[in-house]
Amino acid sequence: MNDHYKQGAHSAINLQHVPCNICGFSEERLITIQNGYRIVRCKGCGFVYVNPRPTAEILKHLYLSYLQEKIEDPLLWDAYMKDIFARAADALARRFPKGGDILDIGCGYGFFLSQMKKKGWQTCGMDVSETAVSYAKGRGLNVTLGTLEDIKHKESSFDVATLFYVFEHLPDPLKALQEIRRILKPNGLLLLRVPHTTPIVRVLSLFGIKNNLYDPPFHLNDFSPATIKAILRKADFDNIHIVIGGVTRPSSMLVRCVTLFFGLLAEVSYFLSFGRFLLPGVAKTIVAEKR
């Protein structure tokens, strides 16, 4: 087990029980246990999350070196996310042909911000990883260490806010959406990229295959298309569109081949169904407007 998990994360004193972040319901059903943490499904709305979980103070400490542990070489992270970033950048450029102000929350090493900066956008980023922020600043990017709670941007500051593989990490995603809505300009756009782990875990469990795909306590939430729409609507976002939005490119050839196969399958099925079928278990890109 990772040393981070041993730093008191399993102590009852440092764990807190939380109600469903979407509907507020407190009744839940256990899905599985990974790294000693319970992953549960809300009986009210079906939202999947970790409960109980470490306190916010402990989580912030765990994240200080999170990116460095996941992918130590920043260039590998760039290759991993290149397709996702390129598709998102092109989509935003079509939506805002004259550019605008963009905030990348959980910007990591800043590769997406670099793409948007080249397209003429005014860019701003934030991250909780000291390693990532230091690297991004070294590349001349406007990036700050901290969270949405730490960094209070002015109301109606940005045309676009993006979160790539960040939303599943947030202790209070609804509160984060409400803050994002505040700092977006009228008719501003939110772009999210999230995994969908539960269907894969279900399939693997049928074959008795153990896994750590939920990655608790770093991943605290797992959103399905239905629950991501529900929480966005609750935070007063509308015109919600969910697309496949590309695939990641892991460095392992075997994992890359599997990822590309299911990514292609997801793209084809999405196209043939005229956007009505979203392959379960595949990460998706969500776009929503400030109501």
Do the beta carbons of residue 7 and residue 61 sit within 8 Å? Answer: yes
Per residue of the chain (291 residues), what is the pLDDT tens digit?
444 444 444 445 589 999 999 999 999 999 999 999 999 999 999 999 999 999 988 887 787 666 655 666 788 889 999 999 999 999 999 999 999 999 999 999 999 999 999 999 999 999 988 889 999 999 999 999 999 988 989 999 999 999 999 999 999 999 999 999 999 999 999 999 999 999 999 999 989 898 999 999 999 999 999 999 999 999 999 999 999 999 999 888 998 899 999 999 999 999 999 999 999 999 999 999 998
Give the up-direction half-sphere exposure of residue 108: CA atoms within 13 A in the CB hemisphere. 25
DSSP string, the chain: --GGGGSSTT-GGGEE----TTT----EEEEEEETTEEEEEETTT--EEESSEE-HHHHHHHGGGHHHHH-SSHHHHHHHHHHHHHHHHHHHHHH-TT--EEEEET-TTSHHHHHHHHTT-EEEEEES-HHHHHHHHHTT--EEES-TTTS-PPTT-EEEEEEES-GGG-S-HHHHHHHHHHHEEEEEEEEEEE---HHHHHHHHHTT----TT-TTT--EE--HHHHHHHHHHTTEEEEEEE-------SSHHHHHHHHHHHHHHHHHHHHTTT----TTS-EEEEEEE-
Please choose, from the candidates 177, 275, 279, the residue with its C-alpha nearest in 3D space to the C-alpha of residue 224: 279
User: What total of structural domains would you count in the chain?
Assistant: 1
Among 249, 236, 247, which Cα is nearest to 288's? 236
**Buried residues in 117-151 as b, exposed as e (16+ CB within 10 A):** bebebebbbbbbbebbbebbeeeebbbbbebbeee
Per-residue pLDDT, 71: 62
- Which pLDDT score, from 0 to 100, does residue 131 have? 86
Burial class (CB in 10 A: 0-12, 13-18, 19+), 152: exposed
Q: Where residue 179 sits, what CATH number does that domain have?
A: 3.40.50.150
Query: What pLDDT score was predicted for residue 5?
Result: 43
Give the separation between CA 48 and CA 21, rounded to whole angstroms: 10
Its domain, for residue 187, covers 3-290
Return the amino acid letter for 121. W
